[in-house]
């Protein structure tokens, strides 16, 4: 009886060991089956990332190319025949403004600005009509420095507009200069202050017109 029990015990232990080994083999087989799947998933994820990166790089290159093309493209300047500038409510005398306007007509913008700067430096006088003291080289003249400061601002705006309109500054001449009263503020004693509106126009002239 003891021999039978020992044999049965040995057979039971053998069965348990065989079941354990079979279970271990099944687990290993299952894990080995999972490994290639995980590797394939990693490869697919890497491929997707590479595709996304490639698309992002292509988009960046396209945007850079567009920016470079925009930089290379020069803005088209629509050339006009005439440029003008307006100064409103300027602190200038009407009489002085009329004399300055007559003085700068038929001159280029740069020449007019240079002559007015000479007048403001008291090296050149502007001809005036009426009973005015005589100046060197002319019958009568004055140095309207305050009004010249107002005109210089309008002339700078005229020069900028002429460049924006595509006019040739060497051939451009001032063809129109007008001054008129603006709304004049009241002062003490019932007097009114000096306020004026100035309009200056310039046009590109041909060689015959300049001559």
Domain ranges of the chain: 1-73, 82-210
Return d(Cα 102, Cα 94) in angstroms, integer.
Answer: 12
Alpha carbon separation from 178 to 48, 73, 157, 169 (Å, rounded): 73, 39, 15, 21
Amino acid 35: pLDDT: 46
82-210 belongs to CATH 3.90.470.10: yes
Find, among 80, 130, 99, the residue nearest to 198 by Cα.
99
Please identify which residue in the block is written with the tokens 């894990």: 31
- Across-strand partners of 79? none
Query: For 37-55, what is each residue's pLDDT tens digit?
Result: 455 566 676 777 777 777 6
- DSSP assignment of the chain, as one string? -HHHHHHHHHHHHHHHHHHHHHHHHHHHHHHHHHHHHHHHHHHHHHHHHHHHHHHHHHHHHHHHHHHHHHHHSPPPP---SEEEEEEEEES--HHHHHHHHHHHTTS-HHHHHHHHHHHHTTSS-EE--SS---BTTBSSEE--HHHHHHHHHHHHHHHHHHHHTT--TTTEEEEEEEEEE-PPPB-GGG-B---EEEEEEEEE--HHHH-
Query: For 67-112, what is each residue's pLDDT tens digit?
Result: 665 655 555 667 788 999 999 988 888 889 999 999 999 999 999 9
Please identify which residue in the block is written with the tokens 């007559």: 102
% of the chain at pLDDT higher than 70: 62
Amino acid 74: pLDDT: 55
Return d(Cα 161, Cα 158) in angstroms, integer.
Answer: 5
Query: For 101-115, what is each residue's pLDDT tens digit?
Result: 999 999 999 999 999
Whole-prediction pTM value?
0.59
Query: For 153-168, what is each residue's pLDDT tens digit?
Result: 999 999 999 999 999 9
Phi and psi torsions of 204, nearest 5°: -80, 120
Question: CB within 8 A of 166, min separation 6: which ones?
Answer: 77, 78, 79, 80
């Amino acid at each position: 009886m003891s021999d039978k029990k020992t044999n049965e015990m040995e057979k039971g232990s053998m069965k348990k060991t065989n079941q354990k080994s079979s279970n271990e083999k099944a687990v290993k087989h299952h894990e080995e089956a999972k490994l290639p799947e995980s590797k394939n998933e990693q490869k697919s994820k890497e491929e997707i990332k590479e595709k996304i990166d490639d698309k992002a790089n292509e988009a960046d290159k396209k945007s850079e190319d567009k920016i470079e093309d925009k930089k290379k493209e020069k803005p088209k300047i629509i050339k006009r025949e005439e440029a003008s500038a307006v100064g409103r409510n300027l602190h200038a005398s009407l009489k002085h403004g009329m004399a300055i306007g007559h003085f700068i007509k038929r001159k280029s913008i740069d020449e007019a600005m240079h002559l007015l700067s000479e007048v403001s430096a008291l090296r050149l006088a502007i001809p005036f009509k009426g009973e005015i003291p005589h100046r060197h080289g002319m019958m009568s003249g004055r140095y309207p420095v305050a009004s010249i400061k107002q005109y210089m601002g309008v002339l700078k705006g005229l020069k900028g507009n002429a460049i924006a309109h595509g006019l040739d500054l060497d051939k451009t001449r001032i063809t129109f200069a007008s001054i008129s009263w603006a709304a004049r503020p009241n002062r003490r004693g019932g007097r009114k202050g000096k306020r004026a509106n100035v309009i200056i126009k310039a046009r590109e002239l041909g060689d015959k017109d300049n001559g």
